Structures are given as C-alpha cells and as structure tokens.
Structure 1
C-alpha cells in the first residue's frame, strides 16, 4: 500500500528532544552532551527537566567527543548533540580514533543537516556528513524521513551497543509513518509501488520524492518510491529487487551527490545489477543562505525539479533501451 504524506507536519528536533528526555529518565546510563546549541537542537528540555543528565561542553566539539568516548568506556551511554556540520568536520579525528576504532557506545546526533538550516549559511550547512560517517568502520548511519521515524531510530540506537550517527533536519516535515510502523536496521521501506522507475531516497528528501512521484503520475508515469532510512548498513537486496522490477533507479538526498546515498546505491548496482541511474542531490558546489524554497530550486532538490529531471531521464534512457 502506498504511504501518503499527511497534512500534519512536525519538526524532528522537537520530537528528538522530548524522546531524549524520556531516555535520560528511563536509563541511568544515558547522558546528554551538548555543544552549546541546546536551544537550537531542542535538548534544552533535558537541561531544564533532568539537569543532572545534561553536560554542557561549550563550543569545543573535539573535546566534546573525547569526553563522550571517556564516558562510554565507563559503561555510560552518552548522546553527543550538535549541528551536523560541526560534528562531522570539526571533530572527525576524535570520532575516528576515540569512538569508531575502539567501537564504543556513543550516539552522535547531527542536527541542522543538509541545505535548510534557517539562513545560517554555508558554514552551518552539512552536505558531506553521510559520506564522512559512511566511511568510518563500526559506525551505523541513519537518516529519518519524519518525526515518527526519529523516535523509532532513537529507541533502536538506545538498545544498540556501538556508535550510531543520526542525521536530523531543522524545519517541519510531513508525517509519513504511523506509530505502528517499525524501524529495522538495514531495511528499506517501500512507500509507493510503480513500474517505470524507482526513486530511492533518504532522510528529508523522501517526502519530496513522494511528491515528485505524484507529479509524474499525473503525466502517466508509474514511479516507485523506496525510502532508505539505514544508509549503513544498506539494504542491498531491496536495491536489486527495485532494479529487477522497474529497470531504472534515481537516488535522492539532501546531501552532496558524492559519497552519500547515491554513491552507496551505485556501488551496489555496479557489483550486483548494473542499470541506468540518476543521482539527485547537490552537485559539486557550496551552498548559501536563502529561504528554503529558493534553496531547493537553485540546488535542484525540489519536487518539481525532481519530476522534470526524472521525466527527461526516462525519455533519454527509454530511447537507448529501444
């Protein structure tokens, strides 16, 4: 059955803060470690309601991740929370040497990921974090599509013994999933069936992919949408099945086209089932500050851009197939 975009919208960060507060109260091991962004990431609710579990590290991300590594070695479960840009780039050496290599139980949360970071500009935008974390051995990489999936992923991460990176967005997104839907590590979720092409999307780009598929359906195209919440490990079987069903693959992510979901899917196709493929994401360029819709259009991520790009891709490759 096709999943529908609900009229209801929720912000991932609000739900994240509330859920993390619950976890900190339920489990004595859970500590929340902040990089001086609690108001933006919405973990200030922990500082207010469970202050003994809230550790303020200031604007010192390298030290913050080192502290988290130390806490984990004592049996605690630290949740390091800051912007994705700062987590993935400022503290990468500490993450690799002190968390990934020794495989310690640290949860790393990258807020304000992608393009839409509230007019903060290129210094605060993260278009490389999936690529960076995907390259680190032992690190699970997750990107939820909505607030419901955020809660499911957090509960998984809490039970999982090892480093996990979860990529969160700033602004409200349509609710796609119900409370009955479950998150499974390494498993894709079929959101819409189709015969002509499969869009494989992750994170915030999934709701836009559903909308793009609807726009294409109005033009007579039958488009499947496969949501990939778990980027590492990746659901290789679902990718191969999608190719065998529709023959054409488009990947979609609010991330660089280099090293992220598109690269991961391409690796599977090259090794398992070569097929025509299009990557939708930010090209080889830095972004800038602007309102959300302008950014999505300029950097070719909007649902309307996706629909046009897929239409042209299908026309071009259908001629080649014939």
Structure 2
C-alpha cells in the first residue's frame, strides 16, 4: 500500500533511505536546512555533498518548510544527528496534522541525559500525537544502499504490528528488513559500535594490522553487550544485525565516518582538526562521552571506551593509550555468558 512519508534529515543516510522509499512506490518528501542543497535535489535530482554521483528519483521532493513536509503523512522518519533529535521533535509536534508512525534511523545517546533516542522522541511527541515509535538500524552504508547493494537491517518495536509496518515500508529485492522486539538492544548496539569504530580506525592509523582489528572488535562487542544488558537489553541482540553486524561494517570500511575519524587520530591529527575536515557529524565522539559517563553510573567496566574517552577528552596520546590497554591486568575471557544469566558486572 502506498504511504506518505516525511524524511527529516537530508544527509547521506536520510537521502539513501528516502530513495529506497520512493523506489518502493511511496510518496516521499525530504526535509533539510540548506535551501541550495534542497533545490539541487528538486531540480537536478542530486545530493552531491552527501551522495556524490548518485541520481535520485525525480519523484523525491525536497522541502525546507517542516509543516509542508509532514502534512497528512502516514510516517515520519528521523535521520538527523543525535544532538538535533529533541529540538526537531519539538518542532514536529507544533506542525503535525496527522498521527503518524514515528521511525528513527539515527545512532547515538543524548548528551547529559544518556537517554536512547526513542526515549527522547517519546518524551517530546505525546502518545496521542503519534502511533508507535520504531527503530530502524543495522549494518548499512548509505553509499552502498544508494547503488542498490544488498543490505539487511532491523526494525525494532515492542509492538510487532508496527515493526512489520516498517518492514513492509522498506523491504525490496536489495534492502531486507527483519523485525525485533528488543528496542533497547538495537539502539544501544547502534550507538555504541561508533565508539569501537573510532578505536578500530585509530588502530589502523597507528599502523597495526588484522590481529589488532580483530581484538578491538571482539572485545568491543563484549563492552557493548555488558552496558546494553545493564540497560535492559536482550544479550542475543548483540550477536545479530544491530550488534555484531553493525560493528563489523562500521569498523572495517572507509565509508564509515567514525572509522575515518579514528584513522586520522591514529595518524596524529588533533580532534578539532579531524572534526572540522570531516564535513559530517561523527556520532562516536559524543557517544563516547555519554557511554563513559553511563558506564561509571552503572558501574560497568568498559576499558576500550575509557581509552577512547581519554584520547578524545583528556588529550592522551593514542599510542600510549593503546600500549596501556595491552598492559592491563590479565583476565579471563569468560566475562559473560549468552545463556540464561548474563554476568555483566564481572571486573
């Protein structure tokens, strides 16, 4: 069934998802803040800063007026940076004329509150103004989705009907969507893998090889799982698409802005210089701070996150931090079990 969808956020991921929706036969309007960029989407069907050389469907409409973008829509898809989620949600409530399904495909934790993004959306968009809130996440590079490379992701909601609604909205022969009822696990996996991707990039920038890459990804997954389960997630989620799947794709590809930022840090560039030259938001930087603070609050050991925090926020030398990580006290690998009891507090 044809649906009317508003996509909030005209970056690479928002544009790629909008393209999928249009190609699935839906009526799609994408909202952004830069008039020149939106004009090129409407007139030339390109979004060159974010998806170079990708021709967008002529049916995709770009709109700078949020009220016009969301008029009488069936669904609203948030693909804005984490720091903008709350403010955009506040704006949305003021102009909505329907009761849409709210979907978000952003990945992070809110600074200060450490809240997951679905929690932020639930606070700002009253239940009587929306249907459900569904999380869309998984191993996916916008650049590859835009050229119809095979991709599989997850739609997560406690309400199976709405998870299936989002699944049907996006599914096609190159974009496969699975459903999941573990919203906490899907969101925490999506957010925290960006921290490990920074570390994986730094490992590369320092000149280390595949052994080091495997180590940081594997132990990174242990950290993600420990914190996620302490927050209420199902441990099995972390061996799925939004856990190990998203971790692999983000830690191994130059498409990943978090990996690229980490690579530059490993090569000796200063954080301010890296962020200035990236041209896009590097979510892992702010997520590192939120996860570090949250791990302290919940008394969860996260040595990789602590090391990356020390590099980003305390000015520690990347090479020294990596060496100190290796010289930590010896431990058992069996810090947790994927059985009935998840032993997440072992230090």
Compute the TM-score of the two structures, normalised by the length of structure 1.
0.44
Q: Which has the higher contact order (CA 8 A, sep 6+)?
A: 1
**Structure 1 or 2: more strand by fraction:** 1
Compute the TM-score of the two structures, normalised by the length of structure 2.
0.41
